[in-house]
Amino acid sequence: MFSQKQCDQFSSQGFVIDRKLASSGVCQAMLKVVRRSIHPPLAPVEFETDVQYPGAPSDRLSPGGDTPRRLLHAYTRGSVFRKWATTKAITSRVKQLLFTKDIAVSQNHHNCIMTKHPGFSSATLWHQDIRFWLFDRPDLISVWLALGTEYADNGGLKLIPGSHLQALDRGRFDAAFFLRQDLPENQTLIDSAVAAELSQGDVLFFHSDTFHAAGRNNTTQVKTSVVFTYHDCNNQPLVGTRSARYPDIRC
């Protein structure tokens, strides 16, 4: 369980890191599945070219065009992922952060293995994960497990502490709901970001309203992380949206 201090940190900062929540054995078992799923990439996969974020190859035929960004549907890629997503070490913490006894893990969107490859990875601009979701309330928690070391230079996440509490006007975002970088008031916010430095087995819990971003992987090693998103069962995805496409798993 989280300590009161960790819960308070999540409330005020919008994120909290718990170190070494996943054992080396679990991480190795996941990495084994990932290695078998990359060459060739096993569907369903989101390629770097699909997102067209800064630095992504322009099309599938250009160099690096077949670089996977996300191995989708992690939950169904192996029992090690299902066990992880529903393990009490995670679900009890998410319940604490959401103040509920009844949660579900989504099988939609952030149910994936993030792979960030040297050479052809892209940068993710400043955003809130809620841009991907449509729920009764914007109150979801993403749980990010590092399967290796993560830091700014290999494309690790940066987060803006307390940004989940700020209500920004629509004009501060671009059409795709990324923070506009041409506005001085956004730059001030971005300047307050911190890097989430993670080691294998560390877990970052962050609120769907917390602004975060990540750079390209400038190293020679692939960076691999697993991410699942949870919500209170009283907070449901809107019918007919992609947030409701696949059934949630109660846990």
Ligand X SMILES: O=C(O)CCC(=O)C(=O)O
Q: Residues in the site for ligand X, rule: CB under 6 A?
A: 114, 116, 124, 129, 155, 212, 214
| Cβ 68 to ligand X shortest distance, Å | 13
For residue 132, the SS3 value is: helix
Report the distance separating Cα 119 and Cα 121, nearest Å.
6
Question: Min. distance of Cβ 122 from ligand X in angstroms?
Answer: 7
Nearest C-alpha neighbor of 110 from the set 231, 232, 201, 193: 231
Cβ atoms of 193 and 140 within 8 Å: the answer is: no
Q: Whole-angstrom Cα distance, residue 189 to residue 82?
A: 37
Query: What's the CA angle centered on 58, arms 120 and 63, to 5 degrees?
Result: 50
Q: How far is the CB of 101 from ligand X (least distance, A)?
A: 27
CB of 180 to ligand X, least distance (A): 17
- Contact call for residues 16 and 10 (beta carbons, < 8 A): yes
